[in-house]
Chains A and B, each alone.
Chain A
Amino acid sequence: MTELIFEQSTAGRINNAQYQSGTFSIDDLPQALLRKTGPALPEVSEMQAVRHYTRLSQLNFAIDTHFYPLGSCTMKHNPRICNEAAMYDGFSGRHPLSPASTGQGVLSCLYDLQEILKDISGMSEVSLAPMAGAQGEFTGIAMIRAYHEARADDARQEILVPDAAHGTNPATAVMCGYTVKEIPTLDNGDVDIDALRAAVGPQTAGLMLTNPSTLGVFERQITEIAALVHEAGGLLYYDGANMNAILGKVKPGEMGFDVIHLNLHKTFSTPHGGGGPGAGPVGVSKRLVPFLPVPRIAESSGEYVLLDKNDCPQSIGRLSCFMGNTGILLRAWIYARMLGRDGMKRVADYATLNANYMKVKLEQGGFEMAYESRRATHEFILTLKKEKAETGVTAMDFAKRLLDKGYHAPTTYFPLLVPECFLIEPTESESLEELDGFIAAMEEIRRESVEQTDLVKSAPHSLPVRRLDDVRAARQLDVVWQEDAV
């Protein structure tokens, strides 16, 4: 067990290398507005701080240390050059409100990224402003609303989402003032097009779709779906979470989508960082261009400029104080330039090869696939409901036992449609040996679940902690350390 940093503090300990020398008066500030007691922050030496956090880092699984087949998260290798170059002084030291004339270098990189994303997505214009996929979704749905409002089409208050959609989709629709209607999915993994046909009408603002879907299969009737929604006067939103499956092979713009978002922290390999930062740029078809958020990077007579609300009067507005997660955008741009034209489709090719290989081998190993007759895209789902029925071992137990074997578990219990499911996405950067190792581990756990059921049910055993009590965490809420707490 690692002590908390606060438990290693000693009152009065100062890290002198970081303590600016000099005496500075604040006697012009009113006493009533000053702190009476200092904040209870750690008082440790630099060595203690470095040691503590270095040790903490060693308690983590990470892509750098473990195979991490999390479905829909695209845990591919994070090339180090992206981090190095994005942090060059000229990039990291520039103040966001410096005039554009002082940022032609960084703006040229970002503009290049914009154009690259336009090319691979087949959309008319791209904005790099949204800070993550969810903000990209918000931007897209807000633009759809702005579009309908500009046409005085106020009856459209409903957004359609498939029942298998990622939770951010309905949450976003509600944030934009819409009601949500779910469309069921058929057993073969396709959206129920008859249900969709019945659901569209003058109240439909739009449909949010991921393709390949969250079920890991390609939505084969996408052209028909697009036509249906467009005929009813609605717009089509593309959740780009699964872009890794079709990068360089299929363009969302050509599937009929009016607005898309991409997750650069997935497809373009920017670091997951323990939960962000991400970047969720949006691409739009011509009719939505006026509504793009500001600031927008544009090029005018060889110079890069930032357009604001005055230049774009119909813009939905600003999404953040500055221009987005610039450092992340730079990392994505560097990766995109290293992939280059031929590298884009290679990503989709090998991500798909790896996923299909795993699907076939696991199936041969006796595991039940959720959509066995379908091709895997860059990911696929297997269900452990049979194993649960036979041994009582659940997907959760399997996942925890995988940790013992040195693998991060795949996505579990999403999508909600498939019981006891694993959504497995190897990505293109994993080698054949790694995949075979994972498959062997899965088969081993299956044997263990029959022969040593309790071992699996009480996993993990070899990690810094055993299975954690989530119920207690919520019931006896302890989110801030207190000195005298037990």
Chain B
Amino acid sequence: MPFIPHTEEETRKMLDAIGVSNIDELFDEIPADLINERLDYVPPAMDEAGIRRLCKNSAQSDGHYVNFIGAGAYEHHIPAAVWQVATRGEFYSAYTPYQAEASQGTLQLLYEYQTMMASLTAMEVSNASLYEGASALAEAVLMSVRAQRKKHRILMPETINPAYRETTETIVKNQGITISNIDYSGDTGTIDLVQLNDQFTDDVAALVIPQPNYFGALEQVDELVDLAHKQGCLVIAVVNPLSLAILKAPGEWGENGADIVVGEGQPLGIPLSSGGPYFGFMCCTQKIVRQMPGRLIGRTLDAEGKQGFTLTLQAREQHIRRSKATSNICTNQGLMVTAATLYMSLMGPAGMAQAAKASHANTRLLVEKLTAIDGVEVVFNSPFFHECVLRIDTPMDDLVRAITAQGIIAGMPLGADYEGLQDCLLVCATELRTEEEMDDFALHLERIVSKE
């Protein structure tokens, strides 16, 4: 019986102690017609050797591809110590730190994480994580509406990751919140400031600003923040945490900085893993901290005046406030945050800045090599950070199929989400991409483009 230690003798002893003759009797309060032990699909049990074999085969069968794609998830170097330490049993199999005295390891780590994220984003407070980037944006939208009472419109630029927008709509649509679209300029691939200016009606709670945006382009964040604040709106920044090692942090945008900052934490030591588990981060100003969802760890003293850590401001959360909670979130992404904290400590600010710079330099190099091909050109006239949109003179489906067959994931085709970008591909090169890999990509791309 896998994972069940009882011997027959022990089972008998326990049944006797209870006063029943068999285990089935313990289920006698369940109406007999509801008992159904028949399973048609579940296969017979596998032992560990068998499941190991099956998993190795499945994992191997998917092969190995060179990733030139980002679009929300990025393949960065993960120091070996990150997952070795994060999967120690004391972290891996620990529960939510409700009994603070028995969880000082996790609690102190989360406090350090909060400190690191606050510094990275230049904000005053951080929570201890949400599920991932897109739903974190949804939570930020809900938070800004709560903070701005009576204002139920959000300005959402088209330069936000389409999946983030869709997720936000799914999560907020039943609470009477309207998401209004802001166009992007076809020339720069950034928010159309002129069009934006006309969108500030009285009911706008917040403006969402990505940096870099989905196209990899850099937005005019200072102007945008000041404009939004002048109109009485909050600013929700959506950022790449690794980029913040070198880019100006949202807390320093414009005169007063962003009000809420969210994003995807995956670049900080989390493997790609077909999309999850990742983690969402959220930081905000002290002023609106009581509206922030998710867990929050505070430093305090114990009965002997010694430093300790504990969950705090729990009155925001579902287990206390129930229907009046800031969010229904309970379990979040604790293990991923543990890994990210290890990552940031092992890399340090210098290591992270270097990884960010190398990613940027590699993307520039990639773009240079690819645009040297006839029929491939950069679309937007804008500074970009570690991702870039290319227009390619070849039917996109054919292109993707042909490049994939060469063991390369070429980038994210944009046609499905953006009407004017049917023939466009969002490419990305992180610090892990070598020049050989880029030359290989260019070689194959040229063959395919010139053939058509």
Contacts and interface: CB of A to CB of B under 8 A. Distances in A.
A and B physically associate: yes
B101 A460 contact: yes
Interface stretch (A116-124, A381-389, A443-451): A116-124
B134 A321 contact: yes
A344 B83 contact: no
B350 interface: yes
A334 B89 CA distance: 19
Given A41-B344, A466-B302, A469-B301, A275 B131 contact: no
Nearest to A342: B45
A300 interface: no
A427 to B, nearest CB: 9
Interface string B163-197: 11011011100111000000000000000000000
User: Which of A87, A89, A275, A429 counts the most B-chain CB atoms under 10 A from its CB?
Assistant: A275
B259 interface: no
Nearest to A64: B89
A18 B347 contact: yes
Interface in A446-467: 458, 460, 463-467
A195 interface: no
A105 B39 CA distance: 25
Interface centre among A56, A85, A86, A320 (most CB of B within 10 A): A320
Contacts of B334: 272-277
Contact of B350 (A43, A400, A463, A466): A43
B348 A4 contact: no
B62 A106 contact: yes
A98 interface: yes
B344 to A, nearest CB: 5
B111 interface: yes
Interface string A168-202: 10111111110010000000000000000000000
26 contacts: A4-B115, A13-B348, A30-B383, A35-B244, A46-B346, A90-B64, A99-B400, A102-B62, A102-B404, A103-B274, A106-B58, A119-B41, A120-B42, A138-B171, A177-B175, A275-B333, A277-B332, A322-B132, A353-B15, A361-B17, A376-B26, A408-B99, A458-B303, A469-B303, A480-B114, A480-B118
Contact of B31 (A34, A122, A223): A223
A220 interface: yes
Nearest to A146: B174
Contact of A321 (B167, B304, B331): B167
Interface in B315-351: 315, 317-325, 327-338, 341-342, 344-351
Contacts of B69: 95, 97-98
B81 A88 contact: no
B299 to A, nearest CB: 4
Nearest to B364: A28
A38 interface: yes
Contact of A249 (B27, B100, B331): B27
Given A96-B73, A172-B328, A90 B174 contact: no
A367 interface: no
A152 interface: no
A94 B36 CA distance: 39
A366 interface: no
Interface string A464-486: 11111110111011111100000
A132 B248 CA distance: 33
Contacts of B17: 357, 360-361
Contact of A20 (B77, B129, B132, B321): B77
Contacts of B115: 4, 6, 480-481
Contacts of A320: 131-132, 134-135, 163, 167, 275-276
B276 A323 contact: yes
Nearest to A63: B93
A324 B167 CA distance: 12
A38 B245 contact: yes
B277 A327 contact: yes
Contacts of B325: 167, 171, 174
A43 B348 contact: yes
Contact of B218 (A22, A33, A344, A414): A33
A6 B5 contact: no
B28 interface: yes
Given A29-B218, A109-B58, A336-B42, 12 more contacts: A26-B361, A34-B246, A39-B349, A53-B109, A63-B94, A119-B39, A132-B330, A167-B322, A275-B106, A320-B131, A343-B2, A458-B303
Given A49-B345, A65-B89, A134-B318, A274 B77 contact: no
Interface string A58-96: 111111111010100101111101011111111111111
Interface centre among A166, A352, A473 (most CB of B within 10 A): A473
B95 A403 contact: no
Contacts of A85: 51-52, 55-56, 59
B131 A274 contact: no
Interface residues of B, number: 197
A358 B88 CA distance: 30
A146 B47 CA distance: 43
B72 A321 contact: yes
B373 interface: no
B29 A374 contact: yes
B58 A94 contact: no
Contacts of B48: 81, 338
A325 interface: yes
A340 B248 contact: no
Contact of A99 (B44, B61, B118, B404): B404
Contacts of A218: 29-30
A473 B174 contact: no
Nearest to A12: B350
B42 to A, nearest CB: 5
B102 A463 contact: yes
Contact of B271 (A32, A92, A172, A217): A92
A337 B364 contact: no
Contacts of B256: none
Given A61-B103, A102-B62, A479-B296, A271 B93 contact: yes
A29 B383 contact: yes
Nearest to A472: B300
B1 A343 contact: yes
Interface stretch (B201-209, B228-236, B306-314, B443-451): B306-314
Given A106-B59, A350-B4, A325 B277 contact: yes
Given A317-B169, A322-B274, A342-B44, A108 B431 contact: no
Interface in A110-155: 115-116, 118-120, 122, 131-135, 137-138, 142, 145
Nearest to A83: B87
Interface in B253-298: 264, 271-279, 289, 295-298
A75 B94 CA distance: 9
Contacts of B47: 338
